[in-house]
Every structure is written in structure tokens, then in C-alpha cells.
Amino acid sequence: MSTVAGGPMRLPRAFIAGLLLFWLGMPAPGAAVEPALVEALRAGGYVLYFRHAATEWSQADRRQDSGWESCAPAEMRQLSDAGRDTARRVGEAMRRLRIPVARVLTSEFCRTLETARLLNLGPVETHRGLVNTTHAQHAGGVESLARRARALLATVPPAGSNTVLVSHGNVFMLVSDRRPVEAGAVVLRPDGSGGFEVIAHVAPEEWLALADRQ
């Protein structure tokens, strides 16, 4: 027990009540993906920004000016086997949830391109506006990359569908203060006026858990 000047420390009742409210109000695991959100995604109009799946951290990005799209582990960091499995399972969960996807855009890095293909949500297109910030010079510099990424996030998808972007954690940090987890998605709603609202951060296991409840 904590003590003050040799006696037991008495916490103010208001402080204790606040802690209880905080604990009771904390969302349970999976709360970010409630059925209402899935129903909204089924109606379309959202952008889902995925960070690539888990990678082999024993590998390193060794190419800068050329060859940085390489899928060779000796040249660029690639997905791990666990990351590949997660990407497949997340894509399967989204298909089971019947979330319509009109476009899938990805960074040209092999680890993002492979993640997008393993999600298997539709034809995959590469976009320079999603390149890793470590290689921002290929998108005209960091400020240019931030503008291009923001424009993609603010683009309203075709009616009745959604857009999936697969990129890097550091790119999303150019427009937000929270980095997505590996293979995690940020759900955003474009406002039609060049802006967007962050609706939810969805971890891979949350997609899987919700699909299992269908």
C-alpha cells in the first residue's frame, strides 16, 4: 500500500471515480470493428489505408537511387512468412465480410506490392504517391509525397465501393500522429472537399475476429 508521511495514502473519491469510468469505458479488443462499421463499409465511400504486413528485420533496404523495387532479400527488406500468412488471412476475412473494393493502390516497394496481392481484393496498381518516405526523392521530396498521399486519402471512391491503399507506416505519419500496425488498416471517410476523417484503426486480428462472428 502506498503511504504518505508514514500513513496510508488516501486518494480523492473523484479521482477513484474517474479511474473507474476510464476502465469501464475502455473498448474491448475488436471494438474498433463493430458491425455498424462493417455495414458502412459494405455501402462504400471509404478509403482503407493498410500498412504492409510483417517483414524480415534481419534484412535491410540497401537500394536508394535504383533497384529499390527489388524483391531480392539481399537488396530490400521483404515480407516474412508470418507476414504473408497474415495478409492472406486478412484478405480472406474482408471477402467473407463482403466489403466491396473498387481499386487497390500500392507503393512500388516489393513488401507493399506483395501485401496487396496477398490481400487479393482486386487488381493491384502501383502509385508513386505511396512510396516509403525513406525514398521520397522519387516522389519529388517529402512535402510532395505528403501532398500526394493526402490527395489519395481524400479521393472519394466510386459509388457503392471502397478504395484500398497499401503503403508504409511512415507515409501515414506524414498526415497523422498515429502509425498503423503491420497489416493493420486505417479506415477513412473522404469528405468530398479535399479532406478526410479517420474513422477507425483496425488491427489484423480484429478483421479475423469479426469475420468469424458472421
Domain boundaries, the chain: 32-212
Closest to 59 (Cα-Cα) out of 130, 117, 129, 110: 110
50 phi and psi, to 5 degrees? -100, 135
Render pLDDT for 83-119 as a digit per residue (tens, 0 to 9). 999 999 999 999 999 999 999 999 999 999 999 999 9
Q: 213 near 96, Cβ under 8 Å?
A: no
pTM over 0.75: yes
pLDDT of residue 214: 78
| Alpha carbon distances (Å) from 55 to 78, 87, 124, 182 | 6, 11, 20, 9
- Which residues share a beta bridge with 126? 106
**Residue 196 confidence (pLDDT) above 70:** yes
Render pLDDT for 22-39 as a digit per residue (tens, 0 to 9). 333 333 333 445 789 999
User: 3-state SS of the chain?
Assistant: CCEECCEECCCCHHHHHHHHHHHHHCCCCCCCCCHHHHHHHHHCCCEEEEECCCECCCCCCCCCCCCCCCCCCCCCCCECHHHHHHHHHHHHHHHHCCCCEEEEEECCCHHHHHHHHHHCCCCEEECHHHCCHHHHHHHCCHHHHHHHHHHHHCCCCCCCCEEEEEECHHHHCCCCCCCCCCCCEEEEEECCCCCEEEEEEECHHHHHHHHHCC
pLDDT of residue 35: 83
- Range name among 15-19, 40-44, 104-108 with the lowest pLDDT average: 15-19
Render pLDDT for 125-148 as a digit per residue (tens, 0 to 9). 999 999 999 999 999 999 999 999
Write the Ramachandran bin of 67: left for phi over 0, alpha for psi from -120 to 50, otherwise beta. Answer: left
pLDDT of residue 24: 34
What superfamily does domain 32-212 belong to in CATH?
Answer: Phosphoglycerate mutase-like (3.40.50.1240)
Cell numbers placing 140: 519529388
**Residue 182 confidence (pLDDT) above 90:** yes
